[in-house]
Structure 1
């Protein structure tokens, strides 16, 4: 029984030694792409793809003799086949499939090199027999993949690579990744008799550091692509709000003219209408004729519009606003900053089950050379935060949640800081902008 178990383990190690690269590459690819949307019939496609890759590896090792040139061709074929089958199984474009395979190939090599170094260290410093290195290596891959996942894979989860508009950068990274895998493994073949020597150790450490740098570079590409996408969305949002501000100003001006004329006509009726009805009509007109004078025209237009919205939704809108210090800001930035803040407050109030608990408090004033802005409102439920900002409750971070981000972007554009506090069912947005700026 023990003999059979020993033979089974030996056979498994030999199979892994022959096909380890493909198996390791498959694990790395699953780690990077396991969360992506799959194509139709994925329950069939994925097992077929995995079996096909294993069969390719077994067939190659059985038919193709191993030398320097076939080793180079082997890795190129494995890489290409994996990219094709990834595109077949996962709903990604070809450029995305190439990116994920570059990342997977680099992670595989990172785990391979780290596992080999730790196995050699067990032999040199731990006194384990050299024959145990091949048995220890598959086990040591587990912590290396765990480190790679925590450092490089997990930060990219949920962040789809949509538009890789960097010219030749991605193909060059793919070539670099292949070169790292190909030529370092050629070196392994040439140095097979001295896997614990100083030359091999120095080269292996250099190789491991290269993998870390390459994985960090891939992560930076995704971060920059996401930042550019967010910037484009925010820019389009600001342009839409600029057009909305112009339309709102025209609408408010028209309402002011019409209500002024209507009040004159009501006064002309005199005693011909019941005084109570006249008072009621005047009260309704006053809702639209209530002037907002903060000392800043853009803010006046916005507050008039939002006050009407709050009146219609039965949300008390309490405000103490001095708009005169806002003269240094562009009207579009004023409209976007305060408009997004009030819109978020209105949306939070709409989620309140008790109408009596609804309110919006807004305070804008100068304090010790700073423009202090505070918007407070109640909210229901639980808020999750990411990077100091509340995550959207609409279920799609890619297309929602830009309101608060645009507020922070505008505040920082003027050298200020923004903070958000949500505690006890009360949401507070506070911004401080210096008034004396170089």
Structure 2
């Protein structure tokens, strides 16, 4: 029985480690069946190969034998998960690093004189549980691993080097013998290296997420700035044409008294007045944004009310004004646009100043289930890539001016409130 366990124990440990990192990831269909069959196949192969090679054969293969375990883990993960091959390498290496930390702790226990099998099993369970909560559960983002080729190669290299040194230490080859004290020191350093690899992955993931958010926000700002310039030019042209047309209509009225033409002219003038009644808030950039969104609401059967005092917005850049008001109104328009009840397709916008604090509030009805992360609602778009930067852009812009944002969703009403201190001139 002991001989059986010695042949398969290492593969069992690796399979369990892979499972810890696969559980939070995007799984293939029939994941548990794939895992069970894969585990049985790898354990069976380990039993047969180790029995056939024996200790002498394993010693001759040396590094190739141990690297074979890593390649088996990569294939095992790739079969079980619905991820790319690059992500499978990443997941397998993380699992091997975790297993190696637990293995080092067991070796330290054995070198220190411990011999209880139950204690050794408890060490593995404890290390795996801690690492699952600390690393495995946190690394995937929506089921995928954040992998960059530039960081994958150093990670693989470091873990493989640690394994090679560990192999030399246990090989008993001349020059690599060590006393009890040195063995413990080596195993501690060995475990620290693997721990460092996993800790760096958490840091890299957070760094990558922040970079993606900043890239998304910057791209959005560039698009919004271009949109603002186009909208400003369009509205200026419309206003000029409206002004000219009003004079033309007045001249035409003096040329004829026919009732039908009079009604026609009245209809044209009413349509023109729609575009000639732009909001006058005291800030041209805000006027452009509000008129743009207001026209969209009118053309899409959305009731929109606005009370805004933009005279004190002169301390903000025009792209920041567009980022805050454009994103806030775009989100509200998207929410009410999904409502079947026409009476609830209502958006309220208010901007006032209280005690040198600019208060911006946008309220609208909604009918979707909202999940929050970091105080902000997660995107409800079907595709997360490219979406979801609106609220983050608003928060990022508000924080540039030492402001804050808060979100409240209750009784089918979504309220976004932004507070920005007005700097003293």
Q: TM-score range by the shorter chain?
A: 0.7 to 0.9
Q: Tell whether the 8 Å contact from 1:294 to 1:322 is kept in structure 2 after alignment.
A: yes
* Residue 273 (structure 1) aligned with residue 256 (structure 2): no
Q: CA deviation at 1:377?
A: 1.5
Q: CA deviation at 1:391?
A: 0.9
Relative to 1, partners in 2 of residues 1:162 and 1:366: Cα closer, same or farther, differing over 3 Å? same
Alpha-carbon distance in structure 2 between the residues aligned to 1:418 and 1:45? 46
Which structure 1 residue ranges, 5 or more long, are not aligned? 1-10, 125-129, 191-196
* Residue 164 (structure 1) aligned with residue 148 (structure 2): yes
Q: Counterpart of 2:43?
A: 54
Which structure 2 residue ranges, 5 or more long, are not aligned? 173-179
Q: TM-score, normalised by structure 2?
A: 0.82
Q: Counterpart of 2:223?
A: 240
Structure 2 SS opposite 1:421? strand
Q: TM-score, normalised by structure 1?
A: 0.80
Q: Counterpart of 1:386?
A: 373
Match among 356, 361, 375 for residue 369 of structure 1: 356
Match among 119, 133, 137 for residue 150 of structure 1: 133
Alpha-carbon distance in structure 2 between the residues aligned to 1:165 and 1:411? 35
Relative to 1, partners in 2 of residues 1:278 and 1:172: Cα closer, same or farther, differing over 3 Å? closer
Alignment RMSD (CA, Å): 3.5
Q: Counterpart of 2:175?
A: none
Q: Tell whether the 8 Å contact from 1:119 to 1:140 is kept in structure 2 after alignment.
A: no
Alpha-carbon distance in structure 2 between the residues aligned to 1:148 and 1:117? 19
Q: CA deviation at 1:222?
A: 1.8
Structure 2 SS opposite 1:155? coil
**Larger displacement relative to structure 2 (111-120 or 374-383):** 111-120
Q: Tell whether the 8 Å contact from 1:110 to 1:211 is kept in structure 2 after alignment.
A: yes
**Larger displacement relative to structure 2 (137-146 or 306-315):** 137-146
Q: CA deviation at 1:426?
A: 1.9
Count of aligned residue pairs for this structure pair: 411
Q: Tell whether the 8 Å contact from 1:416 to 1:432 is kept in structure 2 after alignment.
A: yes
Q: Tell whether the 8 Å contact from 1:389 to 1:404 is kept in structure 2 after alignment.
A: yes
Q: CA deviation at 1:240?
A: 1.9
Q: CA deviation at 1:50?
A: 4.1
Alignment of 1:29-428 (within 5 A): 29-34=18-23, 36=25, 49-62=38-51, 63-65=53-55, 72-87=63-78, 90=81, 92-113=83-104, 130=115, 133-138=116-121, 140-159=123-142, 160-161=144-145, 164=148, 166=150, 169-184=151-166, 187=169, 207-267=190-250, 268-269=252-253, 271-273=257-259, 281-428=268-415
Match among 8, 28, 33 for residue 19 of structure 1: 8
Q: CA deviation at 1:385?
A: 0.1
Q: CA deviation at 1:341?
A: 0.6
Deviations 1:262-290 (A, max 9, x none): 33344332643367766555433322211
Q: CA deviation at 1:26?
A: 2.2
